[in-house]
A and B are shown apart, each in its own frame.
Chain A
Amino acid sequence: MNNASIYNKENTGVFPSEKEKTPVAALSKQMYCLYRDGFRSMVVGRTLWKIILLKLFIMFAVLKLFFFPNYLASNFNTEQERANHVLENLTGTAPSR
């Protein structure tokens, strides 16, 4: 889809200048401006982004790091060791025949 069909020319300010050298550069600038102005004009979105960032911080910097290590990746070095461990669990946990 070309830029002209995407963007509404009546809304100026971020619309690509005729002087833009390449369509890719123009589109990149439009995308940048879309995000920049969008973030700047947020109202309830600001609160939501704070919640999202706080949530992601708790999830990845606290929970994942301190409480949710990948058990097999942390305790075994190779794929074969991990496979052996799981196989050990599978075969070592059955009630006797």
Chain B
Amino acid sequence: MLSANTHKEVVVGDQILTTVDWARAQFALTAMYHWIFVPLTLGLSFLVAFFESIYVKTGNEEWKKLTRFWMTLFGVNFAIGVATGIILEFEFGTNWSNYSWMVGDIFGAPLAIEGIFAFFIEATFFAVMFFGWQRVGKGFHLFSTWMVAVGSNLSAVWILVANGWMQFPTGMAFNPDKARFEMQNFWDVALSPVAVHKFTHTTSSAFLLASLFVVGISALFLLQERHQKMAKRSMVVAAVFGFIASVFVGLTGDEAAFNVAHRQPMKLAAMEGLYVGQEKAPIVAMGIINSSKKPGDDLPAFYQEVKIPGLLSLLANRDPNSFVPGINDLVFGNAERNIVGAEQRMVTGKIALAELARYKYAREKGDEAEAAAALAIFDQHKGDLGYGYLNNPAEAAPPVSTTFYSFHIMVVLGTLFPVIFLAVLYFAFKGTLEYQRWLNLVCFFSIFLGYVASQAGWVVAEVGRQPWAIQGLLPVGVATTNIAASNVQTTFFIFLTLFTALLLAEIRIMMKQIKIGPEA
């Protein structure tokens, strides 16, 4: 673990955890908790809009009842989840002050605008959606419901663009006087390939999860032999939406992996536990990874594995015979393949840091000539700035086991879900859906599996890019504030308690509403 700052430590059992460990744990806890609610909000808002569109088109009051039922569950989820993301911003200011200062010019204004925009959309159209059934015309009510769906999804844009920028920093320049990354080209930031795929993959996975939620709760009704007509209607719409979303998740996931291969090859290597780069690189369909293995040692990467030759090369380069670098290549370099490793980049990074320090000192002394000379050398080496903080090149590799397993869990589940949606549609059109007890049980438990896949996806994205807060430029150990670990530890447990209480409240209220059903 990086500990570049003079962080104080807290001993937990036989582990010594520093401020950065607690800050990361707290951020992960908050973000993962936040992500329980967000995907359901993003996806369910569209499903509610579909249901209401059918109601407006057909004039059938049963569709209205159905719409209002799912809208109530949407409201419960939204209410419990609302503002949980703000805690992340608290954490930026307190725990990650170096990071938040450095990226403030890029994200500050857009995130604030997005917050205001989302607030006004939600305050206006949410009110009409929930309170306006008896007050506004059908058309305007439907318009409001669609606006809630579109607005909710648009409000996810900038936070995902921000995340994309952290994975692939572009469209900016580092200002050494202000210690800030400053935006040079808005469109490079907003439309970077990583940001675009981050948004499309994330939102489509949210649609998938919400579809699983609707299918799963409806399946519960079928198992209980309650509200069967409403349940089957909901399942058909959600299964169609879910299947389309699944296909889109697969396509955007493939594009995202292609981007990872070129922008974050270390993450791709960790996702597949690939230590030694090779041509016709395989994908590990199943495997038990050797968690003791370190970059550069002779231990086997896997205890057991089943590989599909060439598939990783195809995924990474669209060529099954191509070369995919492994962790060892990226840590120690591979001259034959013209790959500069972290070991070499550390040298460059340390030059950049030394010249930045010299520049700072020269400016303080008022020696403009020396400052200019230092800046010129800094500019030549600043691309590897973050590597200058590493003590050992192996620190450039993320936790491989966590990344590998999370990626494979996500992919396996992501492959299972469209099969479930197709099975639902098959039996729905056959007219025997309510008799498929096994399928309805699978559908119900798939709600949980959907959350597992969704969270696993974020674990791949975030753990897989360690040690970086900003890829290649700022490691997490330098991004944190120099505060006592015990401070962050205290708030970690406060959040844990608060979040658990809120989650239990949500589950309880949801279960109550589900028990009441659409008759409420």
| B residues whose Cβ falls under 8 Å from a Cβ of A | 4-5, 72, 75-76, 79-80, 82-83, 86-87, 90-91, 93-94, 97-98, 100-102, 127-128, 130-132, 134-140, 176-180, 350-351, 353-354, 356-357, 360, 388-391, 477-478, 481-483, 487, 490-491, 494, 498, 502, 505, 509, 512-513, 520
Contacts and interface: CB of A to CB of B under 8 A. Distances in A.
Contacts of A55: 83, 498, 502
A52 B388 CA distance: 45
B103 to A, nearest CB: 11
A44 B478 contact: no
A49 B101 contact: no
Given A49-B79, A83-B180, 4 more contacts: A34-B128, A87-B356, A91-B360, A97-B351
Contacts of B4: 93-95
Given A59-B83, A93-B478, A71 B97 contact: yes
16 contacts: A1-B140, A6-B136, A6-B137, A11-B135, A44-B75, A44-B76, A44-B513, A51-B505, A59-B87, A59-B90, A68-B90, A83-B180, A93-B389, A93-B478, A94-B389, A97-B350
Interface residues of A, number: 49
B135 A8 contact: yes
A47 B509 contact: yes
Interface of A: 1, 5-8, 11, 14, 30, 34-35, 37-39, 41, 43-45, 47-49, 51-52, 55-56, 58-59, 63-64, 67-73, 79, 82-84, 86-87, 89-95, 97
A89 B91 CA distance: 18
Given A91-B360, A93-B478, A51 B80 contact: yes
Nearest to A49: B79
B interface secondary structure, majority: helix
Contacts of B98: 86, 89-90
A5 B140 contact: yes
B130 to A, nearest CB: 7
A90 B5 CA distance: 9
B94 A69 contact: yes
Contact of A38 (B87, B97, B127): B127
B136 A37 contact: no
Nearest to B356: A91
Contacts of A83: 101, 177-180
Which residue, B79, B83, B477, B482, has most C-beta atoms of chain A within 10 A? Answer: B79
B388 A94 contact: yes
B75 A45 contact: yes
A67 B491 contact: yes
Please provide the 7 A-B residue pairs with the shortest distance between their CB atoms, ordered closest to farther.
A38-B131, A48-B79, A70-B93, A91-B357, A68-B90, A71-B97, A93-B4
Given A7-B135, A72-B97, A83-B177, A48 B80 contact: yes
Given A6-B136, A6-B140, A97-B350, A89 B478 contact: yes
A92 to B, nearest CB: 8
A87 B177 CA distance: 8
A71 B180 CA distance: 17
A5 B143 CA distance: 12
Contact of A7 (B127, B136, B178): B136
Given A6-B140, A55-B502, A94-B388, A89 B5 contact: yes
Contacts of B5: 89, 93
A31 to B, nearest CB: 8
Given A5-B140, A87-B176, A95-B389, A34 B93 contact: no
Contacts of A70: 93-94, 97
B131 A44 contact: no
Contacts of B94: 67-71
Nearest to A72: B97
A44 B135 contact: no
Contacts of B75: 44-45, 48
Contact of B498 (A30, A45, A58): A58
Contacts of A89: 5, 98, 478, 482
A64 B90 contact: yes
A94 B378 CA distance: 15
Contact of A67 (B128, B177, B490, B512): B490
Nearest to B77: A48
A11 B353 CA distance: 70
A68 B179 contact: no
B466 to A, nearest CB: 18
A8 B520 CA distance: 24
B502 A51 contact: yes
B509 to A, nearest CB: 6
A67 to B, nearest CB: 5
Contacts of A92: 357
B110 to A, nearest CB: 19
Nearest to B139: A5
A39 B94 CA distance: 36
Nearest to B358: A91
B179 A97 contact: no
Contact of B79 (A35, A52, A58, A93): A52
Contacts of B83: 52, 55-56, 59
A38 B86 CA distance: 27
Given A48-B79, A68-B94, A95-B350, A14 B491 contact: no
B70 to A, nearest CB: 14
Given A8-B137, A67-B494, A71-B93, A34 B127 contact: yes
B347 to A, nearest CB: 8
- Most B CB within 10 A of own CB, among A6, A14, A37: A6
Contacts of B513: 44
